[in-house]
Structure 1
């Protein structure tokens, strides 16, 4: 066979792989072929979902098995040497790799991203592929790593537990960037990684490699919740074993090397402060601060006091949401992030769950409500005369029927989807969370009768509710199903199976909004959690349109840079947050509210004001990370036309495909949900007719109609009796179940074919396998004639 007739895989096997191995690369530890490094974006429409195409590199080359330094994209020989370069560059940017190659089996085109080469791109013969040592030397020069100690640090391998678990590509990027920064002498390092992307596991791998290399000998890991410290110690950090301890308020034991601490355990009153002062200021070489946005950045915070005491140590901050206000900036303290991995990237790669948003607008929120002259509330308070709107609901004005309406919409949604889907309802304060709990209990009497913990209020003031937090986040525990809360569950709650996040809280702090959304972003395939729904009653999801939602973290204000701009409102007291929404009435920032007893802001409770939904719409997470309101048909039409601009192009692809299942798979990878489309079109059509009808406005035939048309042509007569029976059965199978099921020759082992004879006997009725395949293709051509 001529070289130009070989497949891409044959080009790899016969030419590219031998050239790489000849250059000194180890086939087993340094060369990884056909490496899929993303999972494929999850695309949701209605109640169904599919996964998009994974990103897969033909080759990724590693130095010392843990540092990716080169990507190679292979192409067939009838294409040019550089035909794969643009695709390879895209992969190289994602994988943080400096050396990029394209090859068609004749030569290599090399692209150097370091900026240190005389020529950015140059062609190399197959015999001239660079060795591992050559590329590693250029890599170290690019990173500014020159000393033996620094090279020893970055060459230290990851922890391997023998199960095959390896860090995801972005975790590799984050770990390597952090370790290279340490090796280069940096002492303040920030990593920004979206909720659900495995920050603690990333921290473990950083600490493991620095510890094992001897670069850092005594390490402190700080977190701000006891449950996070315990989870870290018992799970991701478990391999540290006897070298690790958790700091308590007892006498400090200085014989350990890895210390974990709740920062409240070593700060507070003078006695507690003495705990960390029992360590000398230079005791720790490295301090890793988890969720460093939640206080460590503020100059007067307890965390900063610890960091300043151990100022000679290297400080690495991990956060999903950098704290950026006029007073506090984690970036100002740590410097710009050495690596960022956003929610948008996580969803695009298929590692995080996408969301659909149900926006529900209530009349009194939008139109406002005004009391009659001298009207009193249920407690006998005279209601201040003004117009109350969305800003006031559940903060200044409690309309009990509004609470019942929100609870009703939540209940209806769960009944229509999954009554046992884990649900978090974010309320304005503890009082609101309790009223919401009561409303949900009253609307779900049968569920509550099954188990009184079907609905639980989980807030900081009540021990029984807090005690159920572990059960709520445990996928194996059915109860509680619905948790009403205000602030307690915004952070540090790893709710892998949370499928519904309800926002009935005023939110204008971007940090807080990101944290709430983060409760739903984890995927758990074992429990069928691929995506989640956000039900928004207070316009909170308007923040998705804010560039700050998933843009690069920036410093809003640095001391000495002039007058600070007005920052987003930060959470208020009593569990309230900043305000969102407009309209007449209301007073931003809490100023101007009438005051009740003891100078507290008045809160009015009214039970007889009717409320109703005035608008409800569903929006989906779009390909660009924006919320889109789009019908399934519109989405399908737009998506398919990207690949097939005309009906002729689609017909050509369909008829030329050896197996129609391959075309159907391609459509699904592009997010075309054929099952949902069939439900919407309401006809028993196959994939071909659905696409032709929805995308190209052709009349749609059902599978039965197509099968009957073939029968009328009576073309089977040219085959023998046994072959005729097989083709007739295939036609019936198509009418019942679709084209992809008759595509596979294995169908001959199933009923009704197995009753006609063995598969080999049935194939022999067509003169052998080639004859059977030819007859099947003719049948398919007849179906789509």
Structure 2
């Protein structure tokens, strides 16, 4: 039997006989990723999805086993290593391999393997009892772990990593853990994960009162009206000093509960009031041990506390891990891109001459405000922070505009600047570069910063996929987090990242990682004017969080009620009462010079792509195509053998496309419109002299082999040759071709086939024609 017959006739009946419900517990051909999006030039394709033959669930929501099937010619354990790989992804405790003659079981918790006959597959109750016993779950713990997810008509089904995050968190709570850290990349649905956590913990009656903490109004509002909407009847948002104890799920800004001047409004609640505290973006205010915001968590220390972040804060002074512990689950940007749930990126790095060589003022030169300019060489780290060169801003704006004109003038774009002053000057420069649009649509370019009420009023429009304006926004800090703009296609980096800038850099990159396929958003472009993309090569960019903060000795810790007088790094005063402000470096005492009349030009430009290992590679489309073809067919002989043996040539083209081979894009780039897919592959990958489709067709006619056929058959084959020569037709044997207008003079497809002596003879003649076309 082949694999499909083995599953249908042998494995599925055996599993059903063991008591597994085919509709609720047994998921066949279960795909759990979307397939990585591969980008080269303007072309995109998706790779293969990861798919397990069987995923078995305890009840409806807890994955407990996978089965990898093979045909009867394989050994019983042939699929085990493949199955274990799936089990690691899906956090499944039991793995089975089967060839229809028996099962091989691998217990992921003990590492033991054993063979089972086909009629002895474990029942759902048997597997769950083994799992519970080996995991050490108490009866109360089992009740928590078995609590259902939220399922309703139209509700989202959790993706595999969201379910992993929820299940691992629930399991930790069932084992008595009270502080939990979840690390999930921006755009992977942290708030949806949080909602499912709250729902399941409420269903199991583990918690009743919940506090959800954030530090931006936009984060709170998006969460209440979005993922947490099913709980709207029991949800409230804390405002001012009014605290209503009648609700069950409370949303609040840190600064709302801290209050002004140390009022500590949170003390109006009893310390035991909340059973669960969820801390959104916990890398910010709550990360620092002496932060005023940390007092809230310490006050409600009896509650279960869950910290969620895309970028855990780990420095010599600040640590999420020190407070929450090691993450119970991590889903990184790299994993999200490989699975096809997050958008990959390409990086364009224009270099300006002033950035490469620096700029030095003339002796005694005054700036535009009459200030004497300090005599030194100013570099890329000085521009817009210590010295403003008007022409540099204008050149950057012109380059951004040039890119958008060459791709999409209305692609949602965020330009990250050094500070608010820089963001305003960049707005002006972009307006002037796009006067053909801004004269009729003044909100085409907007500055959205903490001090601009007009800009912040446009934030919802920028995030709305159906709103065209604003298209380009300039900012400094405000849009680094909390902006769920799924259609953002362009991120411009013209800001500075210091030694502690990795967290901010990750957050900024996260603004572009969401996918919106119905709007053509499958990847995003980074225009990097400050060499910030060097941070992609830093192991800390997408590695596991590592604790480097060392807490002080216990006797040196300052008691919470006896502050040492030092001002915390982040305080509520950094934000306005609604939590929408931003801490910009604009009001310090440094001197900033303003100059103009300095010629600035772009001296070079490099395009880099996201690579298989998560880094950036500089690679031409031609080199990339060659590498991927050779990855499938390591020699010309190997390729020719596969091509000649495959009746459907398109199957080979489709398989190569799945691996990121963009033949159409390469044909367009090289100007070889008349080259067939076959010749393009041979030329690019194996350095063979290419022939055009017309040349191949003419060679066949010259050889005169068509005269072996009767007149009508010869004319049909001749028409097929013409069709091949003038189009990118690949599969000549596709009988649907006979329905085309060119063949109507010969009558119906049935009549055409009869001219060859039947369908079998017709296909033999067409395959012979293909061999003649592709012969040496």
> TM class by shorter-chain length?
over 0.9
Q: Give the distance between the partners of 2:592 and 2:235, measured in 1 at CA.
A: 50
Contact 2:516 2:522 in 1 (8 A): yes
Which of 727, 734, 737 matches 2:727? 737
Contact 1:265 1:272 in 2 (8 A): no
> Could you list the per-position Cα deviations for residues 58-103 of structure 1 after superposition, in whole angstroms to 9, with x for gaps in the alignment?
1111111211111111122222222222221111111111211222
Pair 1:107–1:482, CA change in 2 (3 A): same
Contact 2:733 2:763 in 1 (8 A): no
Contact 2:36 2:47 in 1 (8 A): yes
Q: Secondary structure at the match of 1:489?
A: helix
The residue aligned with 2:278 is 288
Pair 1:250–1:757, CA change in 2 (3 A): farther
Contact 1:187 1:313 in 2 (8 A): yes
Q: How does 1:415-454 map to 2 (within 5 A)?
A: 415-454=405-444
Deviates more, 1:160-169 or 1:9-18: 160-169
Using the size of structure 2 for normalisation, the TM-score is: 0.92
Q: How does 1:406-421 map to 2 (within 5 A)?
A: 406-421=396-411
The residue aligned with 1:557 is 549
The residue aligned with 2:202 is 211
Q: Give the distance between the partners of 1:755 and 1:551, measured in 2 at CA.
A: 65
Q: Give the distance between the partners of 1:675 and 1:272, measured in 2 at CA.
A: 65
Contact 1:734 1:741 in 2 (8 A): no
Shift of the alpha carbon at 1:162? 2.3
Q: Secondary structure at the match of 1:361?
A: strand
Q: Does 1:362 pair with 2:352?
A: yes
Q: How does 1:382-401 map to 2 (within 5 A)?
A: 382-401=372-391
Q: Does 1:661 pair with 2:650?
A: yes
Q: Give the distance between the partners of 2:459 and 2:744, measured in 1 at CA.
A: 54
Q: Give the distance between the partners of 2:255 and 2:208, measured in 1 at CA.
A: 24
Q: C-alpha root-mean-square deviation of aligned residues, in Å?
A: 2.4
Q: Give the distance between the partners of 1:31 and 1:725, measured in 2 at CA.
A: 55
Contact 2:347 2:608 in 1 (8 A): yes
Shift of the alpha carbon at 1:624? 0.6
The residue aligned with 1:134 is 126
The residue aligned with 2:736 is 746
Contact 1:193 1:319 in 2 (8 A): yes
Contact 1:660 1:739 in 2 (8 A): no
Q: Does 1:167 pair with 2:162?
A: no
> Could you list the per-position Cα deviations for residues 432-459 of structure 1 after superposition, in whole angstroms to 9, with x for gaps in the alignment?
1111111111111102123111111111
Q: Give the distance between the partners of 2:589 and 2:479, measured in 1 at CA.
A: 26
Which of 626, 638, 653 matches 2:615? 626
Q: Give the distance between the partners of 2:114 and 2:350, measured in 1 at CA.
A: 58
Shift of the alpha carbon at 1:718? 4.5
Contact 1:423 1:502 in 2 (8 A): yes
Q: Does 1:682 pair with 2:651?
A: no
Deviates more, 1:151-160 or 1:161-170: 161-170
Contact 2:322 2:551 in 1 (8 A): no
The residue aligned with 1:647 is 636
Q: Secondary structure at the match of 2:512?
A: coil
Q: How does 1:507-518 map to 2 (within 5 A)?
A: 507-508=497-498, 509-518=501-510
Contact 2:648 2:731 in 1 (8 A): no
Contact 2:412 2:472 in 1 (8 A): yes
> Could you list the per-position Cα deviations for residues 303-356 of structure 1 after superposition, in whole angstroms to 9, with x for gaps in the alignment?
322212211110011100001122221111100000000000001111111111
Pair 1:396–1:21, CA change in 2 (3 A): same
Q: How does 1:16-27 map to 2 (within 5 A)?
A: 16-27=11-22
Which of 566, 587, 590 matches 1:601? 590
Shift of the alpha carbon at 1:236? 0.9
Q: Secondary structure at the match of 2:287?
A: coil
Q: Secondary structure at the match of 2:540?
A: helix
Q: Give the distance between the partners of 2:171 and 2:3, measured in 1 at CA.
A: 36
The residue aligned with 1:113 is 108
Q: Give the distance between the partners of 1:141 and 1:713, measured in 2 at CA.
A: 76
Q: Give the distance between the partners of 1:628 and 1:599, measured in 2 at CA.
A: 39
Pair 1:711–1:403, CA change in 2 (3 A): same
Shift of the alpha carbon at 1:230? 1.6
Q: How does 1:260-409 map to 2 (within 5 A)?
A: 260-269=251-260, 273-274=264-265, 276-409=266-399
Deviates more, 1:102-111 or 1:540-549: 102-111
The residue aligned with 2:566 is none
Q: Does 1:610 pair with 2:599?
A: yes
Q: Give the distance between the partners of 1:454 and 1:754, measured in 2 at CA.
A: 54
Shift of the alpha carbon at 1:752? 3.4
Contact 2:37 2:340 in 1 (8 A): yes
Q: Give the distance between the partners of 2:654 and 2:620, measured in 1 at CA.
A: 22
Which of 193, 203, 206 matches 2:184? 193
> Could you list the per-position Cα deviations for residues 705-726 of structure 1 after superposition, in whole angstroms to 9, with x for gaps in the alignment?
2222233344444545554444
Deviates more, 1:735-744 or 1:305-314: 735-744
Q: Give the distance between the partners of 1:164 and 1:779, measured in 2 at CA.
A: 54
Equivalent pairs, count: 748
Shift of the alpha carbon at 1:783? 2.0
> Could you list the per-position Cα deviations for residues 579-622 of structure 1 after superposition, in whole angstroms to 9, with x for gaps in the alignment?
xxxxxxxxxxx9xxxxx9x9821111110111222331111100
Pair 1:732–1:138, CA change in 2 (3 A): farther
Q: Secondary structure at the match of 1:637?
A: helix
Q: Secondary structure at the match of 1:737?
A: coil
Runs of 4+ in 1 over 6 A off after TM superposition: none
Pair 1:656–1:263, CA change in 2 (3 A): same
Q: Secondary structure at the match of 2:243?
A: coil
Pair 1:207–1:759, CA change in 2 (3 A): farther
Shift of the alpha carbon at 1:666? 0.9
> Could you list the per-position Cα deviations for residues 668-719 of structure 1 after superposition, in whole angstroms to 9, with x for gaps in the alignment?
1111111121123321222211111111111111222222223334444454
Q: Give the distance between the partners of 1:645 and 1:477, measured in 2 at CA.
A: 49
Unaligned runs of 5+ in 2: 557-568, 575-584
Contact 1:733 1:742 in 2 (8 A): no
Q: How does 1:42-53 map to 2 (within 5 A)?
A: 42-53=37-48
Q: Secondary structure at the match of 2:97?
A: strand
Shift of the alpha carbon at 1:138? 2.2
Shift of the alpha carbon at 1:272? 6.1
Pair 1:239–1:728, CA change in 2 (3 A): farther
Contact 1:143 1:180 in 2 (8 A): no
Q: Give the distance between the partners of 1:300 and 1:416, measured in 2 at CA.
A: 50
Shift of the alpha carbon at 1:751? 3.1
Q: Give the distance between the partners of 1:171 and 1:524, measured in 2 at CA.
A: 19
Unaligned runs of 5+ in 1: 1-5, 564-569, 576-589, 591-595
Q: Give the distance between the partners of 1:334 and 1:487, measured in 2 at CA.
A: 26
Q: How does 1:445-594 map to 2 (within 5 A)?
A: 445-508=435-498, 509-560=501-552
Shift of the alpha carbon at 1:466? 1.1
Q: Give the distance between the partners of 1:561 and 1:781, measured in 2 at CA.
A: 79
The residue aligned with 1:176 is 167
Q: Secondary structure at the match of 1:293?
A: coil
